[in-house]
Structures are given as C-alpha cells and as structure tokens.
Structure 1
C-alpha cells in the first residue's frame, strides 16, 4: 500500500506485486477509520486473509514527517499500531527520469511508490532513503531546544530592525538596556532630536526584543532544570558533552537530542551524511574532482557544528584537531579557512560520537567542571 498525502484527501494505492494494476481509492485526510476500511476492502478484493502482512509507505511531509521537523509522526505510529509495516521515505531521494520534462500527478506518484516499495522489500534497499522516526519521548525532548531556535531568530530580526531604523538617520547605537535613555539624548546630523514617530517605533521594537529575550531565559532555565535529571540516558550524554571545554548547554543539548541520544550510527560516514557534511566526489574517466559537501542533512545542526568548530579553535588550542586545522588551513586565505572549518566541524562531530560511545576524550582536549 502507498499513500499520497494531501491536506484535504489521501489517495491510496494497493497492489500484490509487479504486473498487478494498482487498486486506487480516496479517503478524507486524517480519516483513520476510512483508511482501515479501505485496507480491509483491498484484502477482500485480492482474496487475502485478514491477518496477511501489509506493507505501506508514504513520502515525508507535513502529515507524517517534515524535513524541517515542523510536523508530527502520528500517521506512522498509527500504522504501526494497526500492525502495518510502514516506511516514511524522503521524497528527494526517489529516482526520476531526466530525459525530458516529466508529468506530475498523484496517480503517477502513487504507482511509482508502489513499484519502489516492492523493490525495497525485494532487497534493493538503496532504491530510496528511509526516514528514521523517533519514539514519542525522543521527539518530545527535542521540543525544548527547538523552542529556543525560534526566538533566537526573532531576537536577531528585532536587533537588525532597530539598527536599520537608526541607520536611516545616520545614527549607530548599541542595542542594550540603556537604549531607551539614549534615544532621548541622541541627535541627528543637524542637532535635532529623533522624530516622535520614529522614537515610538524604536521603543516598540525594543519592548518586543525584551519579551523575546525573557522567553529565551525561561527556556534556558528549563534546560538547566532538565539537566538535573542524571538518570535519563540522554541527559547523561548532554552532561558528558558539557565536560568538554567550549561546549555549553545550548550546544550540548541540541547535539544530544537531535543527533546522539536516539540514533544508532554504524560508522562515521552516517554522521557526516546526517548533517550534510559528507563529501560529494565527481569522477568520470580522467576527470576527478570534489564538488564540496552535500548539504542534504539537517541544516540547523550543520550551522551549529560550524559555529561550534570556530569556538573549539578558541577554547581548545592545544587539542590535536586544532593543531591539524592550524597546520593545514591556518595560514591560508579567508576562503581556505572557511573550507577548513567545515572539515573540522565534521571531524569534531565524529570525535564527539566516539567520546560518547567509548569514553575516549578527543586528544589534547581540556575538561571543565559542569555548573548547572
């Protein structure tokens, strides 16, 4: 069974193997009762027993899973609860024909998913990428740091808007707690004060900024309270990461909850691929070059890893990884150093994974005392 999800209706496709024309049906979106009824009808249509094995799949999207992690996984869990072996697949990993402009309809997509589902269960596991769905507890623990990511962007927007409005008058001020007082004292190029309308708007932006910063403080306090639960494995991992100098709570918590606590990595390549830091080689005949990193993984974790790599160079100058970076990229141009920091970020994630799995501290890394 394949499911083509939509906000208003779901299109279902049923088949028993290659050469069988799919049985297509429509149900209202989120109508789980109608979905179960159609599954039972398909079993009777194909003369299958009531307890036969049912395989299903659907593309990652808002209803079941989102690449930006804004959706839930309720549909996948519902199908598993009803004894249906379901797969959530990455739509970008599905093969397409590039010979000509291709048609796009729900029926065509449904038939393609059914064919690829049969191939996958026949042993061709590389036919697409399967999304791993976390359990309910692991998903819930990711909400705290994601709740902080949103106000962080809002704070930056408020600060930039305040600075932009001041720049229109040729004024540059620091956005801090003294800003309301400074607005009354600052003068334009001709010695006149700021217009009252502009001053009111700046004060309103400052009030919104204060509200966002207060929300961020509350979230950070909740994170610190969560770190006081040492019996939970994920919290233990986060505290272990915080033992390393240069790793604070806003780095350790998302790395643990998004990357290390509930995923089972088999090798270092999987870590690099998850955050989009894996290399993309291009080799054809005598041509051989590197196309850079894939950038197909979690974008937030990728930016966090790069930011953390810069901080690592500052706080861990005696570590082996810092020496490697300085020796290979330290004397290069600005562009070369930026390329090198991406490589360092990938090496750091792998080193942290080994540290959590085996307890092996990165060579030369300094430790610190945890204060929660």
Structure 2
C-alpha cells in the first residue's frame, strides 16, 4: 500500500483550489511529489546529532597592532598599552623612541581571535577576527601587523597579518553623527597561516566515541541500534546519555574515514524530554511536542481602566458679559475582559491543543508565561520548565 506524504496532499489540494488540473498540470504535480521524500522530517542523520571525540576545533587568541588608520586610532594618552606596544615594535625595527612624546592616532591595539579547525595542516589558512582594545573610533582602512595567535597551552599555532575588512562606519559633524554597524571590529579572510599542527591519529584508534549534542538515553540507544544493524551486533554500545562507543571492526582498521562516512549517513529518530523553555526578557516560549497537561481549568483576565481627557472650549453668547473657559471632559472605560471564559483542559492535552486553548482565551506571550508557571506549580504540567 502506497502512502502519500502529507506535504504532497497539501500541494494537490492547493493546485486544485487555484487552477483546474489538466494533463500537463498533473505531470508537473507528479514531478513535485516525486521530490518530496517519503520520510521527510521523520529522522535525522547521525552526522547531524553527534560529534566524534577528538575531532574538534581549537580557539586561538593574539594581541597585535593595527596601523594605517585615518586619525581614528587609540589616544596614546588614554591607552598606555598601545604606546608601550608601539615603542616595543619600533625598537625591534631599530628605532628608539623611548622618552619621546608620541601623539599619533593612526595606531590601535587590537585582540585577534580565530578558530583552528580539526586536522588543519601546517601552511593552511584560517580567518582572523580583529577587535579594538582601546578607544579607537574605527578600524576602517587599517592593516594588522604580524600577530602570533596562541592556543590554550600558550603555544603559537598561527600567525595573522593583512588588511582589515570592516563593514561598519561612523561619520559625524557639528550637529549630527551617524554610525552603521560596528566600525571597531573587522575580519581578515584567510589572514592567518597555520604554523603548528595538533597531533591526533584518528586512523589508528581501535575505538571511536560518539558524543550526542543533545544527551538522551533513548537517542543514544537508537544510535547504537542503527550502527549494530549495519555493522553487526556489539559494534556500538551506549555508555551514558551522551556517549556511544563504537568498536572499529577488524576488517575496517585503517579505514576510519570510510567507516565514519557510512555511520554518519545512517538515520535515527532523536527523542527529546518534555521541556518548556521561557525567555522572560523577550517573552519567547518554546515547547516540545511531548509536553502534556493533566486535567486543569484555566481562566485569564486583566482589569483595564482607560481614562481619556477631551477638554471642550466654552464661549459666551455674543454681546454677553462672559469669559471663554475650557471645560474638562473625562471619559472613563473599564474593561474586565468579561468575554474571556474559564477553559478546562482534559488529561493528556497535547501541545497543539494547549496553544489553541490559550489563544482562544486571548492570552498573549507574557500572560502565557505566568499561566505555564502556575500550571507547573499546580502539578498539572508534565514537563520541565527552563527559564532563561
């Protein structure tokens, strides 16, 4: 029995609503439905939900100088570290400026950051991000001088240098100023050269450890079952909610890349815990599909009092001995939201039914946060609430 994907059914209904279906139209529709996978959204690749232990990036950081600024650099009087760095750099070039007063504003002290990819070879290039450290106004037009970039162990892994690409700018006059983006940060595409490699022999590992990005017991078990169904029993076993240990088969020793390629393309359906994430600052609410509500009654309403002042001008009759005065007119409206009703949610209400019921009560995101917290306090929300 052939099953039709819901998306294909929706496309068919939409086409019948918009235009009569002709023979040519049915041919075009057949092409569209053929492009809809039978299990779209039902599962995910293992590649998209796990990381391989040891295959990781490393953060790099460095301190350097940007020169060539058009008077928008650091004030040496307010940024002593910039002056000391400039004096030290000039001394290495054979120029002695100690004891001299320097007032240049074409130099800025910056922090340089980058990410060293896994298995980056010596001589390859990576991007470098540059951010002002002092009171520089803009890094537009500047050039970063040679800057060693260090790892967490204090060793130099790359060296950055080159002209900056700054997307923001700032302009000002006596009466107005305009700033677009962030002119005190820039980027050097492929501006850092890798000088040291991180030793890691992936091909010689007898055991691989897969780390789940969202730890879960059920998901870890499903990943192990998917791998065992292809490579044999006992090839993979979950050790905890976030780790799956894969023993490299004897015939695949030395072919770790090929083995991982096949494992990454396997599909599993990740499971997730029932969780409600609330961001109090922005009023954002995110609820998982497994959130359930026990039988509970909800009523929501706010008393709103609106006072409007509409003063009227009162004038005397012609030739009368009177004065023109302003007569206050006050309009008071009280909204008790009497249209809102008490809603009863039966046991096992799904996420969709919960949202529809709260929307029917006219509940906004802010009020919905309080309602969800009250439902949780009543013990009727079968989910974890996480407040950001």
Identify whether the pair has TM-score above 0.5, normalized to the shorter chain. Answer: no
Question: Larger relative CO (CA 8 A, sep 6+): 1 or 2?
Answer: 2
Structure number with greater Rg is 2
Q: 1 or 2, which has the higher helix percentage?
A: 1
Q: 1 or 2, which has the higher strand percentage?
A: 2
Normalising by structure 2, report the TM-score. Answer: 0.25
